[in-house]
Amino acid sequence: MPPVAVRDMKHAAFRGRLVMLGFGSIGQGVLPLILRHIDMPADRIRIVSGDTRGQDVAASYGVSFAVTPVTRGNLRDILVPLLGAGDFLLNLSVDVSSVALIGLCRELGALYLDTCTEPWAGGYTDPSLTPSQRSNYALRESALALATPGIPQPTAVLAHGANPGLVSHFVKQALLNLARDTGASAIVPATQAEWAALAQALGVKAIHIAERDTQLANRAKQPGEFVNTWSIDGFVGEGCQPAELGWGTHEKALPPDGRRHDFGCDAAIYLLRPGASTRVRSWTPLEGPFHGYLITHNEAISIADYYSVRDDGRVAYRPTVHYAYHPCDDAVLSIHELAGKNWKMQPSQRLMMDEIESGIDELGVLLLGHARGAYWYGSRLSIEDARRLAPHNNATSLQVTAAVLGGLVWAIENPLAGAVEADALDHARILEVAGPYLGEVVGVYSDWTPLLDREKLFAEDIDRADPWQFRNVRVV
């Protein structure tokens, strides 16, 4: 537990108005952190939400709360009176277009941050769109199209929660640690090209965002109920999108159901199946080997793109990057039931919070293929520590809200950065702000590979020459 002085430190002063769009578990969890660490009065904060969740929490802090669902038709009518030059829109909503919100903030001169790039309602599963068109890859391309290099614009921090967001900063610190431990370099890169060159020099072939959530509640999941430790709407929406991953230059062949996009940066591929029905092998220090879901996330694409080394228009190096997520056990049961119902949401949903009795969220990045084999770096946060550190949070939500706080502080300190992803931010500053809320932050080396023990048990079709091929990682 960090010293009280660190937890109460004011990291930034903000004199504008702050509008929070959406107030689910992340909104409720981040509000006390904002008031604790950003010097601004509560009466300058206004919450606009599609429902009444958290209304009592907002009232306890003296923060204005309005139940007003935002749609294509009323977006301007609702937000224009609330935002102006120097104000801040913190978007924690679902089913509201991030691109539309960023465009409005740019027009009004307001700052912006979200935790993922959202489409309008129905965009994740719209049958009129191809899998490529409803992918995170496409959403990212539409957001990055708003960037104007060389022209100062109000800062819009894209996709900055725990993941996407915090894990991009973990990757940078992990690379620095690996460079130190292998004697490769003592110089901290200053540009995207230098960071990519470092990853290439270290021989990193793949990066997993490797997460295991072991939180347990005092009541079990019931039939017809979806249970999770964070946004159920967000999880199901992502899980129903095509599985996506950054595609590395060491890969020998596309998966049989793998497809490339015919537009954009070409840093990623997608599979012709939902992420919530696609499993991959991965590893975390406390869990050891596990099977996780390859849920699509922005960071799988942005990290692969950021660490690409280009030579005369040719990609000379790029790591394979993807999420490997083992949610809490009740969420696994919920996904199994959801898939069996042809992805039709259960009639009842429950977000685990006060009923959690034990467990941790072990969230980090697993760098693979380098001279030391495998290196995991990240946060191990228990429910007990989360409750001691901040109100209205569990272990999963606090890893997100701490990263949101870090992104808010960075944006306030850098108000004219334009549209920018986590990978381009100052990782040291973000980790300085978020670190006191992340529990035990550790780096652990391992000799794990996705081929571990498999040759002894099964006659599988595996690539023994290169264990880091995605075909070895994927569970089929």
Residue 459 has pLDDT above 70, yes or no: no
Residues 216 and 125 placed together within one structural domain of the fold = no
Residue range 154-172, pLDDT digits in tens: 999 999 999 999 999 999 9
Do 180 and 297 belong to one domain?
A: yes
The answer to whether residue 421 sits within a structural domain is: no
pLDDT in tens, 45-68: 999 999 999 999 999 999 999 999
Q: Is-contact 395 407, C-beta < 8 A? A: no
- Domain check: are 11 and 134 in the same one? yes
The type of residue at 249 is T
Residue pair 39/13 in contact by the 8 Å Cβ criterion: yes
- Same domain flag for 363 and 341: yes
Query: Within its chain, how far is the Cα of 353 from the centroid?
Result: 20
Reduced to 3 states, what is the DSSP secondary structure of residue 19?
strand
**Same domain assignment for residues 152 and 246:** no
Checking if the pLDDT of 95 tops 80, the result is yes
In-domain check, residue 404 = no
- What pLDDT does 149 receive? 85
Question: Tell me, what CATH number does 464's domain have?
Answer: 3.30.360.30
Q: Are 299 and 170 in contact (CB under 8 A)?
A: no
Instruction: Answer whether residue 380 is part of any domain.
Output: yes
- 153 and 171: one domain? no
Pair of tokens at residue 254: 């596309």
Return the pLDDT at 3: 38
In a shared domain, residues 43 and 136: yes
Residue 164: cis peptide before it, omega within 30 degrees of 0:
yes
**Domain end position, chosen among 127, 158, 189:** 158
* Across 65-87, average pLDDT: 97
Question: Between the CA of residue 207 and those of 93, 145, 210, 365, what are the distances in Å?
Answer: 28, 26, 9, 7
* 408 domain residue, yes or no: no
Query: Do 189 and 205 fall into the same domain?
Result: yes
Quote the tokens at residue 106: 């740019």
Last residue of a domain, one of 126, 158, 190: 158
Does some domain include residue 457?
yes
What single DSSP character describes residue 392? T
Provide the number of structural domains found in the chain. 2
- Both 30 and 120 in one domain: the answer is yes
Model confidence at 1, pLDDT cuts 50, 70, 90, reads very low
Helix/strand/coil for 473: helix
Q: Are residues 213 and 263 in the same domain?
A: yes
Q: What is the model's pTM? A: 0.96
pLDDT at 6: 56
Do 122 and 222 fall into the same domain?
no
CATH code: domain of residue 12: 3.40.50.720
Q: Where are the beta strands (DSSP E) in 190-319?
A: 206-213, 216-217, 225-228, 242-246, 258-260, 268-274, 279-284, 288-293, 309-311, 314-317
* 417, part of any domain: no
Q: What would the pLDDT profile of 370-405 be if each residue is shown by its tens digit?
A: 999 999 999 999 999 999 999 999 999 999 999 999
Kindly state whether residue 432 falls inside one of the protein's structural domains. no
Question: Given a cut of 50, is residue 358 above it in pLDDT?
Answer: yes
Residue 146, domain member (yes or no): yes
CB atoms within 10 A of CB 265: 16
- Structural domain including 307 reads 166-395+437-475
Rg of the chain over all Cα atoms, to the nearest angstrom: 21
- Among the candidates 158, 177, 199, a domain finishes at 158
Q: The tokens of 379 are what? A: 């946060």
Same domain, 119 and 172: no
Residue 133 has pLDDT above 50, yes or no: yes
CB 443 within 8 A of CB 376: yes
